[in-house]
Amino acid sequence: MRTTVGIIGGGPAGLLLARLLHAEGVDCVVLESRTREYVEQRQRAGILEQGTVDALRDCGAGTRMDAEGLVHEGIELRFDRQRHRIDFPSLTGGRSVMVYAQTEVVKDLVALQLADGPPLLFEAQAIAVEKPESDRPVVRFTHRGREQTLECEYVIGCDGFHGIARAAVPAAVRRTYERAYPYSWLGILADVPPSCEELIYARGERGFALNSMRSPTVSRLYLQVPNGTDPADWPDDRIWDELDARFAVDGDWSLERGPVTAKSVTPMRSYVTEPMRYGRILLAGDAAHIVPPTGAKGLNLAVSDVRIMARAFAELRRTGSAALLDAYSDDCLRRVWQATRFSYEMTTMLHTDPEAQAFEGRVQLARLHRIAASGAAAAELAANYTGLPLG
């Protein structure tokens, strides 16, 4: 097979890139190692920045999102048993976020791709990227029981942290920066209407908690737990009791309980690899960077990568200039590090570090009080949460 752009990974980043390239008349092929059913059922992020919402609408994937997604115009911070709302539109000039699960984004993009897009191959396992420094790199992959090759002008790695694309960048060239946090999230899905109209981020002596949702009838909630926690050690009643304690405020508010349908534990980490381009291979999303989910940046950062990338390929096709492609890594990394900073600050402000002293706890509260009392501090949080300009 031959194409202009070979995309490894059929998650939201790879699928959106394929749609954006298709709109610009750039040929591409998407290789996804898993089945369609698996890809469409993976539970991931559910908060879409304004720029992500706009990109999905622009590529024709916004119809169901606009009908079923939940527009959120703020978040609530809870600490010292008090509630503090951050109003996004008033602080950002009208920007907001959308609650719409990544599983639904993927379903929408897959349907579009299979209906009228370039090739999307499921169960196509990429096994190697050869000659990435040449002008015709090759992806070797297996599909339907036999090994095949995809000859490209460019290879895009949207295949996540454990994929092969990053490994195609020589170790002597790669630089990695990472931080492992001393806590994890225990997340649950529950068949119960959300107890809040907007997300609640709660900080307390017992640890962090997040009250979120997937739909008007399904709640998504998280608890800070020690690393290595086994979800089996947390029966449903224990989870609900702990959530009740961490969300407690002075005033009239109660947590709705319901059947827990799923439990999982997510370690918290920050990771960035540089550069995001080597020769004719470009990295996007988790193949290049991971952020803790506190700032709701993971999916949105991947979308930003491929929007910047698609713009560069459109420039190459229209003018023959590779200037934007040459600048891709630097342009993305500026944004990546800002998102990494924001996610780090949200995480360290809201979680209880088991190794920290009382001093750190008082500084956390001072940071939260500053946001609650200062329009400038609240505006900084709102601008980052709803998404910084693409540039």
Catalytic residues: 72, 201, 293, 297, 385
Residue whose C-alpha is closest to residue 385's, from 158, 44, 72: 72
Cα–Cα separations (whole angstroms), residue 28 to 8, 18, 20, 34:
11, 7, 10, 19
Q: Indicate the helix (H) or strand (E) that contains 18.
A: helix 12-23
Q: What is the Cα–Cα distance from 179 to 341, expressed in whole angstroms?
A: 12
Let me know: does 18 contact 113? Beta carbons within 8 Å: yes
Question: Minimal CA–CA distance to 98: which of 119, 69, 120?
Answer: 69
Beta bridge partners of 112: none
Distance CA 92, CA 327 (A): 28
Residues 81, 95, 63, 107: what is their CA dihedral angle, to the nearest 10 degrees? -60
